[in-house]
Structure 1
Amino acid sequence: MSEHLDRGRRILEAQPFSRLLGTELVSLSPGRAELSLPLREDLRQQYGFAHGGVLAYLADNALTFAGGTMLDGRIVTLEMKINYLRPGLGERLIARAEAIGAGRSQAVCRCDIVAVDGGVEKLVAAAQGTIAVAPERPGTP
């Protein structure tokens, strides 16, 4: 297991919301991240497909992990935009993010989210975001 992946999995495990959803960090390398999430019934909206908030959560985390590998310090999402392309149907969601540009204090990243149904992947959302180094504040972890 790579140093990046090992550290990333510890960070993901420290996020109660990610544990609640059952998110897995599949891969993490400089400038790239892949997250996977089983698409359970309780993560769907009233029409039976993935809730938009679940897709946005996956994009946010994948973008932050990809950007975080390019930066030093405490990393946060500065901004994010997501386009929903089609209903997320199937048994699993996968978010694949990559940094497309990085400086000392921020990285711009993009992310594709696919739904896996019967082994077939379909693109359901695309996102872009800016990941930043958060200023140190006394008394915060």
Structure 2
Amino acid sequence: MTERSLPEDPEALLRLGRELLAAQPFSTLLGARLDGFRPGRVELSVPLGPRLLQQYGHAHGGVISYLADNAMTFAGGSVLGPAVTTVGFSINYLRPARGERLAAEARVVNGGRRLAVVRCDVSARDDTGTSILCAVAQGTIATVDRPGT
């Protein structure tokens, strides 16, 4: 695998994505889970427990923002290669997020050689599987040079 290439096999790509997620201490602290990963598209989620809520019982905006940011970075990295970072994003909170799980679905809108523009929907899901859209985000993901290269 070269610096820019990723596995073509969907299961191998998902395994690699899960390994990359597990290497992020903050993601493991939040209990993040990579639910789907294919070129240009990512599904990432976190369990929504009491420690991730703000004072009114809704998901804290920082948790929603983390989820959108990380999902967009994974989606961008799926077309640009694994050495990427977010260079900017905006998020609009549509309604309070309540439920058992927060789920982000990110998709690449346009990918070039060094930049990808990505959109993301963040939904709150309850224990019955009902999903309510609570935030939308758009970001720009860029390739980075790894140390020592």
Interval of TM-score (by shorter of Structure 1 and Structure 2): over 0.9
For 2:32, the equivalent position in structure 1 comes to 23
Task: Give the whole-Å Cα distance in 1 for the aligned partners of 2:41 and 2:11.
Answer: 13
Q: Which moved more, 1:38-47 or 1:127-136?
A: 127-136
Q: Which portions of structure 1, spanning 4 or more consecutive aligned residues, are displaced by more than 6 angstroms?
A: none
When the two structures are superposed, what TM-score results if normalisation uses the length of structure 1? 0.94
Name the CA distance, whole Å, in 2 between partners of 1:72 and 1:41.
35
The residue aligned with 2:91 is 82
Paired letter, 1:128: Q
Q: By how many angstroms is 1:2 displaced?
A: 1.4
Which stretch of structure 1 is more off in the superposition, 111-120 or 28-37?
111-120
Structure 1 counterpart of 2:103: 94
1:49 aligned partner, one-letter code: H
**Within 2, Cα distance between the matches of 1:11 and 1:41?**
26
In structure 2, what is the Cα distance between the partners aligned to 1:75 and 1:104?
12
Distance 1:4 1:65 in 2: 11
Q: 2:124 aligns with which of 115, 127, 132?
A: 115
**Structure-2 separation of matches of 1:73 and 1:134:** 9
TM-score (ref. length: structure 2)? 0.90
Query: For structure 2, which runs of at least 5 residues remain unmatched after alignment?
Result: 1-9
Output one character per residue of 1:14-46: Cα deviation in whole Å (capped at 9) or x when no partner: 000000000000000000000111100000000
Structure 1 partner of 2:72: 63
Q: Report the secondary structure of 1:70's partner residue.
A: helix
The alpha-carbon deviation at position 73 of structure 1 amounts to: 4.8
Secondary structure at the aligned position of 2:119 is classed as strand
Does structure 2 retain, via aligned residues, the 8 Å contact 1:73–1:134? Answer: no
Give the share of equivalent positions with the same residue, in percent.
Answer: 53
- Cα distance in 1 for partners of 2:98, 2:21 equals 25
The aligned residue for residue 37 of structure 1 is 46
